[in-house]
Amino acid sequence: MTDSSVLDLAPVVPVVVVEDVADAVPLARALVAGGLRAIEVTLRTPAALDAIRAVADEVPDAVVGAGTVISPQNVADSVAAGARFLVSPGWTDTLLDAMNKSGVPFLPGVSTTSEVVALLERGVSEMKFFPAEAAGGVPYLKSLAGPLPQARFCPTGGVSLGSAPSYLALKNVGCVGGSWMLPADAVAAKDWARIETLAREAAGLE
């Protein structure tokens, strides 16, 4: 990744839950073909690390990252598997230190103003806003832009094709995370062409 910012890779970062490692490479290829290069594979399943490794090895045009990173061990395992960025749902000093030392870009999760201020105090200005819809959505992020203009966000959690443009219109939002381009029935049917079509639609958002 030439750009050190995850927020500038694409308007939408697909949030992927891989149950079967055999799906990882064709799924990633479909997303990349549709224009979504940055792919967040969440550490929610036993297949996740192997999925990251497979995409890193076999889909050179993808920028694969690890999501649901909640411990220093997660950080170490993800980077060893080939993750090129890290995303956490929240943060602690211990986790932040580990992500800082990882050598790859990261987005620590926040949902309150105090958490944003604390990260800015630590020199971190790019964050995941999670769970976006439940935590206040577009109005909340818009209200943060006045007092905290230096903070930039990737809202994730309940973001849809319909709501994504409202988030992307905010000056303090670099991209959004979502899974709407990965409907469960399409993944189950291995309908990679449909996923590519939905990815292309998402990639066209501004």
- 128 labelled catalytic: yes
Please pick, among 40, 115, 171, 201, the residue that the annotation labels catalytic: 40
Sheet holding 12-16, edge to edge: 106-107, 86-87, 63-67, 38-42, 12-16, 176-178
Closest by CA to 157, choosing from 92, 88, 102, is 88
For the chain, give me the number of helices (H) and strands (E)? 9, 9
CA pair distance 42, 69, nearest whole angstrom: 8
Nearest to 124 by CA among 4, 2, 27: 4
DSSP 3-state assignment of 182?
Answer: coil
The catalytic position among 19, 128, 133, 196 is 128
Phi-psi region of 88 (alpha: psi -120 to 50; beta: other; left: phi over 0): beta
Neighbours of 101 (CB within 10 A): 11
**Identity of residue 10:** A
The catalytic site residues sit at 40, 128
